[in-house]
Amino acid sequence: MDVAQVQLRILEELRRKHGDTPDTAQACDELSKRLLDLSTLYNTYARPWELWESELDALRCASYRDDELVKRLWVDIISDALSSNSRSSSPSSLKATMASLGRDFHPSGAVFPVPFIIEVLERHSMERKSLPAWRESKGWVPWTMVEIGVPRRDILAAYGSILEKGNVYQETGWESGSTMYLVTIVADFISEWTTSSMKSDSSRREISSAVNDVSRIASICRGVLRSFSDPTAFD
């Protein structure tokens, strides 16, 4: 059944990405006639046609782990979601894409590497922060991860791993100012999480179980802020 689902995804992604061409029609006809094995699906269709979502699905189905390949696939998926000016002017299309794929691929760490995906998404957000729609949507990345079902403590850990690299923009190619940008994202996320935790027992239990994680990320942020002469921001 898993292989059949991969084949169906390939068929749908092929039609969506490559439209109505003779080659596409032939490939779709081949995929519609009979169930193919996973190796054929991957090597004959998913990879040559650059069906990145289907590649991830095939890797998951095969229980095959290739971290570098998976990272490249997510870079391609995210870049494609921002490929046109209309999409790039607002994070809404990217957010919808990530929410849909995230609900499908999470919690498989092999094909949904949360820390890496957050870093790529925040880099794009940082680069576009001068655009009104992106500026007004600041903080959308962690809350999209929450919507997907990623535990908040895992989200905080991801931001902590990015900030612990030190000078973020030098270590990762981000522009100057991105370290403070990420600190404010974390601060706002913790603040909103704390406020929302008062509304339900389950939320209170979640934040209570993550006290050490919150304290750790707050400590990391305080260390970062000392270099910006504001060591009391998280006290």
Q: What are the residue boundaries of the structural domains of the chain, listed by start? A: 1-64
Most confident of 107-121, 188-202, 221-235: 107-121
| C-beta of residue 118 within 8 angstroms of C-beta of residue 158 | yes
Whole-number mean pLDDT of the chain? 86
Longest dimension (CA), the chain: 66
pLDDT for residue 181: 86
pLDDT for residue 148: 97
Write the burial class of residue 56 (CB in 10 Å: 0-12 exposed, 13-18 middle, 19+ buried): buried
For residue 18, CA distances in Å to 24, 88, 168, 186 come to 7, 21, 37, 39
State pLDDT tens for residues 191-226: 888 887 676 667 677 777 777 778 888 888 887 777
pLDDT for residue 63: 94
State pLDDT tens for residues 137-161: 999 999 999 999 999 999 999 999 8
| Rounded-to-10 torsion of CA 78, 83, 86, 88 | 50
Q: How confident is the model at residue 168 (pLDDT cuts 50, 70, 90)?
A: low
Write the burial class of residue 202 (CB in 10 Å: 0-12 exposed, 13-18 middle, 19+ buried): exposed
Cα gap 235→232, rounded to integer Å: 5
pLDDT for residue 85: 57
CA 158, distance to chain mean position in Å, is 11
In whole angstroms, how large is the CA radius of gyration of the chain?
Answer: 20
* Residue 234 clears pLDDT 50, i.e. is over it: no
Q: Which residues of 97-119 are buried (b: 16+ CB within 10 A; e: fewer)?
A: bbeebbebbbeeeebbbbbbbbb
Q: What percent of the chain has pLDDT over 90?
A: 59
pLDDT for residue 233: 46
Q: What share of the chain is helix, strand, coil (3-state, %, to 5)?
A: 75, 0, 25
User: For tokens 């870049």, what's the residue?
Assistant: 79
DSSP secondary structure string for all residues of 70-88: HHHHHHHHHHHHT-SHHHH
Alpha helices in 128-210 (DSSP H): 132-136, 140-148, 152-163, 168-172, 178-196, 201-209
State pLDDT tens for residues 28-74: 999 999 999 999 999 999 999 999 999 999 999 999 999 999 999 99
Q: What mean pLDDT is predicted for residues 80-89?
A: 75
Residue 140 amino acid letter = W
Cα gap 86→205, rounded to integer Å: 41
Q: How confident is the model at residue 167 (pLDDT cuts 50, 70, 90)?
A: low
CA 109, distance to chain mean position in Å, is 12
